[in-house]
């Protein structure tokens, strides 16, 4: 008798799973669409941030390129005048 109840329980669980499958699929598809939208927004924000960073580097290039050249020249002079022990 115990085996009969197990088989009956498995059949009921299978029928319940088949009946609830469309609801589960709708929720899974909604979740997948939500994740895809969030990923697209994240990639867009990353691209916008990169463009802003490149624009700022271009705007400030009259300032940082000469400073970088002076620092490089000073480091080159310091390296060539340094004596080894």
Tell me the pLDDT tens digit for each residue of 38-69.
999 999 999 999 999 999 988 988 888 888 89
Say if pTM beats, i.e. exceeds, 0.75: no
Q: What is the pLDDT of residue 40?
A: 97
Residue 84, helix vs strand vs coil? coil
Q: According to the model, what pLDDT value does residue 83 have?
A: 66
Element (H, E) at 19: helix 2-59
Instruction: Say if residue 30's pLDDT is above 90.
Output: yes
């Amino acid at each position: 008798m115990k085996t009969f109840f197990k088989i009956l329980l498995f059949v009921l669980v299978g029928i319940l799973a088949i009946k609830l499958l469309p609801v589960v699929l709708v929720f899974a598809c909604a979740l997948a669409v939500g994740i895809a939208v969030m990923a697209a927004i994240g990639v867009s924000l990353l691209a916008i941030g990169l463009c802003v960073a490149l624009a700022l580097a271009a705007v400030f290039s009259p300032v940082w390129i000469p400073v970088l050249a002076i620092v490089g020249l000073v480091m080159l002079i310091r390296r060539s005048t340094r004596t080894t022990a």
